[in-house]
Structure formats: structure tokens, C-alpha cells
Structure 1
Amino acid sequence: MRRMTRGLAGFGVLASVVTGCASGAGGSGGDSGGGTGKGADKPAAAEALRVESTVRQATWTGQSGTHQLKIAPERLARGTAADLEHVQLDDDLKGMVPYYLTVRYTNTGSTGLSRPDPESQFTVALADGTPGRAISLWNSNPLATASGSSLPDGCDKAGPASVASGGSATVCQLVMVPKGHEAATVAYSDEGGDTLLWKVGDGKGDDGDLLPPGTTADSSSEDVTTKGEAVPIRVTPKSVRAGSLADLGDYELSDTQQKMVPWYVTIEYRNTGKRKLLPVMDDGVGVRSAGGRDVQPLSLLDLSFSRTGEGEGIDKCRGSVPNTRLQPNSTLALCTIHLLPKGDRPAMVSFEGQAGEGKKVKPLVWRAS
């Protein structure tokens, strides 16, 4: 069931709210930047961040089908780990930072929405496209009259049970984001429509381990014809650009792929070793999108025996590939194709080489632009 892919916290699924005491119970004293202080009835204010709030057309897919919405973030605030000190988190969530994302949506369709949760389709992404984890906190004590977590912005409260045609709702989504990084993007994605992006601050976030676009870096590649020995190479991203679906006119695509946009990533490789290389380095290229998607290169099977001319764009992307080997001290530019939903874009380009005998080396990662 689709909704089970959403992070759920409660009853031991991901986290449970301790509600044996009244709201604000068990605090360990005030903290800076978030959390509930000892004896406090209200949560401490989280740090408000500047976020783009343009209202956009969207879709939300529920059990009754796909519905039309207008939607936008209203507020984004960053808390601290102390906000969740009374929440039992799974190990993979511990150490992450809570972000409180308040969104407002309007049902622009002709029918009402039953148990809507479009907020669960939002995430907060870093500059390299790493997505946050949207989770919900369930009250584990059915006799409690108030939430024991008392999170900022009401992020421990459920959204409305229904929204009539023309009606609106404002709801907060809790998103856990890796510690030590600045958010770059708020993203909304639903399987019935495109990806929507809003900038956080200037939209750049922080560099982290990202190399600037076009920076040359050292790696190595394994040549399968020389008993798995690694050959040193230098890797330089040359371009990241959007193409047209018509470029893939000679290839068979699924119904979902036919609604997407091809992005072409061109990388130059220089053989700095003493052995020839089989030119298959593009197998190690990856893309992470601003919407938080990991996208591997597209494998295409040409089913056309006579070219229609519509696929010429992809030929320009691929360029000339040698029939034999990449010679020492020679260069070769290879292009990979990555399909993204409309509205999304590459945020990070990566290359993972080999150290020989099938072993991997630390991936190189660049900002896409």
C-alpha cells in the first residue's frame, strides 16, 4: 500500500511518543534553539528559515484517485534533537535534526478529499539532493487528553479527516534531516504529477563534500581485460543539460518514462596510467536530484532499424566512442542519460571508480550547477 512508504512513528513502528505525563513533562531544562523546557506548557520556538512560498498547481493521489490541489510551504523551522528527547527513535533517525514544515493546500477539484495527507509527499533536501525523512508521531496512550510531545508548530498533530471541494487546510510535517548541513530545497512529489521545488534561503545550502562544477579530480578504473587491475584516471564533469523526450524517439520507453525529461551528463576521462582502458567508465556515473531522487544512467535498447531522425539528440550526447581502448595519456568524453520527473533537476553528479578486483573507491561528488 502506497502510504506505508511514509515514515511512521508510533507503537514501535519508528518512534513512540511517551504520554504517561502531562504535556511538557520530563524536560531536562531549557535548551537553545528548540525543545520543551522543564515544566513548560508550550514548546520553545524553533529557528525560522526563509523559504519560498509561491503557490503552485499539484496533484495528490489517495485511495479514491488523483486529485487537483494548489499547494505551497508557509513556514519552515529548524529545531534541535532536544525537541524529541522523549521520543524513542530508530537508530537511523538518531542524531538527525527535526525540521518543521508547515504547508497549506486547497482542494481545487470537484470532489472532497478523504483522509488527505499531501504533507507526507513533502521533503526537505540538502544541496547534494540528500532527502530528509518525513515521519509522523502517533500518540501511544489512547487515554491521554493532550499530546505528550508538544512539538513546535503543532507538528505532532494530525491533519484534517476530510477537505471539501474548494476547502483549504494548513498542516505541519516533521522531516528529519542529517545533522551538520543546511537545507537547500523543499520538494513535493506525487506519483500522479510532476515534482515541485521551493528554495530554502538562496537555494544553495552548504557544499559539504561537493566539488565545484567542472573540477577535475583523481580516481581509478578497472580494466576487465587486464585481470582486474586498476588504472589511474582523471575525471572532469563537462556539462549537465536538459534534453527533449523527442531525442529518445528511436527507443522504447515505459508509460512512466514517457512523462519524464532526459538530462545529459557529459564527463571527460583522462587515462593517466600505463595500461589501456575499456571505455565503460560511464557505468560509475550517478545523479541525485533536487527533489531527493537517486537516478542511475538509463539503459536503452534501440528497436529502430531505420533512423527517424528524432533520436539525433542522444547521438550528440554520446559522441564518438573508441572501438578498442582508451590509450594512456588520452582523453575521452562519455555522456549518460538520466530521466527525471518534470520540474525536478540534477543537484549532484557522482562518479564511483574501482580500486581493482571489483573493489570500489570513494565516490567523487560535484554540484550539478
Structure 2
Amino acid sequence: MQSKDPERRSEINGGMVRVRRRITGAVGAGVVMLLAAGCAGAATGGKASPGASASVVAAEPLPLPPTPRAVTWTDSDHRAHPLRVTPTRLARGDAANLEHVRLDDDLKGMVPYYLTFSYTNTGKAPVSGVDPTGNFSVNGADGRAGQPVSLFRTNPLATSSGQPEECRESGRARLAAGETAALCQIFMLPKDRKAATVSYKDDGGDTFLWDIDGAAAEGNTAGVLPAGRPADSVTQDTYDHAVPVHLTPKGVRTGSLADLDRFDLSAETKKMVPYYVTIEYRNTGKYDLLPSMKDGVVLRSAGGQEAKKMLLLDIGGPGVGRCPESVPHGMVRPQATVTECSIHLLPKGDRPVTVVFQGKGQGAQPVVWRATGGDR
């Protein structure tokens, strides 16, 4: 599949690695596609390569509602086409199933999820080049998206496509009016992060979600603190001194674009929903801090989006009433506290799932909380 995005390539077992990154709206999310040798047999003309594992672990089907959604898909000429997409099957595989593929180091040991979906041309004319794969995502309960991986056969004489049995639907690039095709995409997630949602980032701006039944109740958010629980992290002062801070999240609230009507918003921003994240910070170090810790806050969503703090230029203005500026306005002295509110934008249809304080400087580690409870 061709892409206008920058690509990084390197030879790998007769194939190549291609990293493609797609920026989705103002939020931004990286999408990675890996092209590797299709399978152990394909790489050696039908014979298993030395050291290849023959172990195959049956994939576990997950309860995903096959609810169809009407979406907009944009072709390479920027023409919009109406489609109907339906996730029809999601199964959790095992890392052993991809032992025959030479993956990038950051993908090794991850667990494959096989997502099969159908797509129908609901327009009145044929559509060419149809590929809604890049709009789908399989996401963990912490809001981090899985990495999409596509396996392609590099040996034209091989009899196997190299795709696992759970992911053999190959799709169709041209659809007549009313015609339907099916496609399967592999997504990789860490072993300790089970999938909770399937999402579709519509080219019209909205996000569509399908919740995996029971996933939210499994508590599969390793490393995520309960909403409101205090935690410690590190930031920096204006002289780059490491300063420890004690954090107490106060809540995530749904905002309104009417709260931002004093500002010049882009057409894309006006399609989104603002959320207000409030955290109390206590300076537990020995250096003064500027009340700007909110710059390190990120809101993760059920759709796998990461929304950084919105930048609003309002020098000397009244700010946003429902998400007020820092109090106090001066330096935060040692043992003093400051409460800060940051504004984050998510597409309509999406929802917050975790709040992240990234920290700054030597020894800083991200702190992650559930985005529920508090004053949301």
C-alpha cells in the first residue's frame, strides 16, 4: 500500500521494515506498519527456517458487539466516500504465533490481536483504492493504542500467504455501489495490557467506539492508579533543578466549546469536545517552581488518542471560567501547593480513560490515573 507519509526502510530476512506514521487531527497518534517475511516457509521456499518454532496457540475470541457504523472515508484525492464499517471478530493471539517473523525489537514479546471487519460502499458510485484499515485501532484500557502490523509474503513461489489462520481476510480495493468486502488487521499490545476497545477515527472528525464486553471490569490497567489517589513525581525549576512534587488529581470534567468562545478556534477544533483536568501540586523540594506543571499533563482516550494541553493565548485576559488559571499566580514555594487546570480536546464519540503526568528532568517517571471519579 502506498503512502505519502515519510518512511524508514531496512532490509530484514528478505523483506523490509516500513514505519509509517499518520497524524490524526489535533490529538495526534502514531501508526506503525511492519512489512516482514510472510512466514518461516515463505522465507525459504517452503521449508521452515532454522530455529523456527512450530508452536501455534489458538487465538481466544473476544466478545465484541458487531454494531455497524456509517462513516466517511477519504481517498488519496481528498474525495469523501460514505462507507459502513462493522468489526465482525476480534481474537487475542499469542506471541509464539509470530515467532517466524523478524519483528522490530519494540514489538518482540507483544501479543497479537486479530481484528476482522467488513466495509460496504454505501454510495451510489464505485470506489477505488478503498482501505479503511488505518482508521481502526485496538486499544488498551489505559488508552494506549496497539501497534498495527501487516505481514506480507516476500517469496513469490511460496504457497502460504504468511498470515495467521485467524487473520486471512485480504479485503478489496475497489467496491461497486452496495458491495461489501472484509479485511483483517493485526494489532500488537504488551502482555500486561489487554484490549478494551476497538475504535474508528472517522475522516469526518468523530470517533466510533466498540467496547469489548467485560474488559473494563477485568482491572487490566497495569500501572494505572485509581482516580484521585495522591502520587509523587519529579519536575524541574527554571534552572533545571530536579524538584519533587506531590500530586493529587481532583477530577476530569466535560467542557463546552461555548466556554472557549472568546478564542479564535479552527474549524477542526470546533468539531471536538474540551475536557478539563484539575490536579493539585505540592512542591516537596527545596527550589521555587513556576505554576506550570500542567504543561506535562496528557489525557488518554478510549479511542487510543493522546491529547496534550491546549494552548490558549490570553495574556492578561480572564481565562476560561470553568478551567481557571493557576492560584497563586506567583512562584510555588517549597511546601506550598497550587491547583492547576488544563484543557484537552478529544473527538466527538471518544471519552477520557486515563490522566498522565509525564514529569520532567532526571528521575522523572510518568504517573497514570484513571480518568473517572472526582468531579467529572
Shorter-chain TM-score range: 0.7 to 0.9
Task: Decide whether aligned partners of structure 1 residues 324 and 171 sit closer, same or farther in structure 2, where only a CA change above 3 A counts.
Answer: same
Distance 2:210 2:245 in 1: 38
Output the TM-score relative to the length of structure 2: 0.82
**In the TM superposition, what is the alpha-carbon distance from 1:326 to its structure 2 partner?**
2.7
Deviation digits for residues 240-289 of structure 1 (CA, Å, limit 9, x no counterpart): 12211121111122232222111111111123445543211112211222
**Are 2:63 and 2:213, in contact at CA under 8 Å, matched by a contact in 1?**
yes
CA distance in 2, matches of 1:254, 1:70: 28
8 A contact 1:251–1:303 mirrored in 2: no
Question: What does 1:1-369 align with in structure 2 at a 5 Å threshold?
Answer: 2=3, 4=5, 11-13=15-17, 14-18=35-39, 19=42, 20-22=44-46, 28-31=53-56, 34=57, 45-64=58-77, 65-144=79-158, 146-153=159-166, 155-204=167-216, 206-224=220-238, 227-273=239-285, 276-302=288-314, 314-319=320-325, 321-354=327-360, 358-359=361-362, 361-369=364-372
State the Cα distance separating 1:70 from its structure 2 match.
1.8
Distance 1:216-1:251 versus aligned 2 partners, 3 A rule: same
| Further displaced range: 87-96 or 129-138 | 87-96
Larger Rg: 1
Q: Give the Cα–Cα distance (whole angstroms) in 1 for the partners of residues 192 and 245 of structure 2.
A: 32
Given the superposition, is the C-alpha separation of residues 22 and 245 from structure 1 closer, same or farther in structure 2, using an over 3 Å criterion? same
- Taking every aligned residue pair, what percent have the same amino acid on both sides? 48
Shift of residue 239, structure 1, vs aligned partner? 1.2
CA RMSD between the two structures: 2.9
**CA separation of 1:303 and 1:255: change in aligned 2, threshold 3 A:** farther
Letter in 2 for 1:12: M
CA pair 29-325 structure 1, distance change in 2 beyond 3 A: closer
Mapped partners of 1:283, 1:197: distance in 2: 28
Partners of 1:113 and 1:162 within 8 A in 2 = yes
Write the deviation string for residues 66-106 of structure 1: whole angstroms up to 9, x where unpaired. Answer: 21122221111011122222222222222211111111222
Whole-angstrom distance in 1 between the partners of 2:47 and 2:130: 27
Aligned 8 A contact 2:255 2:274 in 1:
yes
Q: Is the 8 A contact 1:149 1:156 kept in 2?
A: no
Which has the higher mean CA deviation after the structures are superposed, 170-179 or 227-236?
Answer: 227-236
Q: Is the alpha carbon distance of 1:280 and 1:217 closer, same or farther for their aligned partners in structure 2, counting shifts above 3 Å?
A: same
Alpha-carbon deviation of 1:176?
1.6
CA displacement 1:208-228 (0-9 Å, x = unmatched):
00000111112244332xx44
Q: Deviations over 1:127-160 (max 9, x none)?
A: 111111112222212234x32424123x245211
TM superposition score normalised by structure 1: 0.83
> Measured at CA, do residues 293 and 90 of structure 1 come closer, stay the same or move farther in structure 2, by a change above 3 Å?
same
Whether contact under 8 Å (1:233, 1:270) holds in the other structure is: yes
Superposed CA deviations along residues 275-318 of structure 1, whole A, max 9, x for unmatched, are 5432111122112222222221011124998x8xxxx8x22212
Cα pair 1:24 1:150 within 8 Å, conserved: no
2: CA distance, partners of 1:6 / 1:74: 31
Evaluate the alpha carbon distance shift between residue 93 and residue 233 of structure 1 in structure 2; reply closer, same or farther with a 3 A threshold: closer
What is the rounded CA distance, in whole Å, between the counterparts of 2:241 and 2:36 in structure 1? 47
Q: Deviations over 1:100-131 (max 9, x none)?
A: 11112222122222121113321111111111
Change (3 A) 1:328 1:4: closer
| Partners of 1:122 and 1:7 in 2: CA distance | 22
Cα separation, 1, equivalents of 2:311 and 2:185: 36
Question: CA offset at residue 320 of structure 1?
Answer: 5.4
Partner SS, residue 82 of structure 1: helix
The number of equivalent residue pairs is: 344
SS of 1:198's partner is: strand
Gaps of 5+ in 2: 18-34
CA distance in 1: counterparts of 2:89 and 2:175, whole angstroms: 21
Aligned 8 A contact 1:114 1:162 in 2: yes
For the residue of structure 2 that corresponds to 1:318, the secondary structure is coil
